[in-house]
């Protein structure tokens, strides 16, 4: 679908690092408004994601509109598209869906055999995940990589996760199994950049 609203969604690179502090503030503000938890990330963490072509940013000219990034777990057998945020000024323009679609395509291109999962408490994200082919699953179906679960420690609801022995929490677990779906295509220029990064 074509959008003519001046918002461009692209794979982030080093030139976008200047937006990181604003991204982190937007994420923190959104978590406060919703009263829900979110895994905290550092400036350097997001900078690395941008440098490694594992992040997607949306810009309206030079104004920040939205962001998300990709993480791999369990020896790259599992992938998450995480930290999806849209600045309040740009809500209602399908920015979240456009970002989600690109991070999803990027993840499928880079790790075609990995299972892609999502932990979310947001109804809008659940809807987008369902449209992409994710299915609700139990937490036991997700990665057992301890590094992933440590990311939940910054969430206000982590006590629920601990109390249930990591069986469930406020978030819903959703999983996309690539074996059940057709391959995806990503633009050639992005593929060339990924190849260059992976061959370093």
pLDDT digits (tens, 9 = 90+) for 140-191: 999 888 888 888 887 788 899 999 999 989 889 999 998 877 666 777 888 8
Identify the structural domains of the chain with CATH numbers, from first to last.
7-198 (3.40.630.30)
Residue-wise pLDDT for 112-135, tens only, equals 999 999 888 888 889 999 999 999
Q: What is the largest CA-CA distance in the chain?
A: 48
pLDDT per residue as tens digits for the range 178-197 = 887 766 677 788 888 888 88
**Whole-model pTM over 0.85:** no
| Percentage of the residues of the chain whose pLDDT score is greater than 70 | 94
Distance separating alpha carbons of residues 134 and 101, to the nearest angstrom: 13
């Amino acid at each position: 679908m074509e959008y003519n609203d001046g918002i461009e969604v692209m794979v982030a690179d080093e030139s976008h690092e200047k937006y990181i502090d604003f991204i982190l503030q937007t994420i923190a503000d959104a978590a406060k408004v919703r009263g829900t938890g979110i895994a905290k990330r550092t400036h350097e963490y997001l900078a690395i994601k941008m440098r490694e072509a594992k992040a997607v940013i949306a810009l309206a000219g030079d104004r920040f509109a939205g962001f998300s990034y990709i993480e791999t777990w369990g020896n790259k057998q599992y992938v998450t598209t995480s930290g999806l945020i849209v600045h309040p000024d740009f809500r209602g323009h399908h920015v979240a869906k456009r970002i989600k679609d690109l991070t999803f395509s990027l993840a499928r291109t880079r790790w075609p055999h990995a299972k892609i999962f999502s932990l979310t408490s947001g109804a809008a994200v659940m809807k987008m995940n369902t449209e992409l082919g994710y299915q609700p699953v139990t937490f036991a179906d997700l990665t057992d990589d301890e590094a992933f679960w440590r990311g939940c420690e910054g969430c206000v609801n982590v006590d629920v996760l601990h109390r249930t022995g990591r069986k469930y929490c406020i978030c819903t677990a959703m999983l996309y199994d690539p074996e059940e779906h057709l391959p995806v295509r990503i633009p050639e220029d992005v593929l060339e950049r990924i190849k260059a990064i992976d061959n370093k």
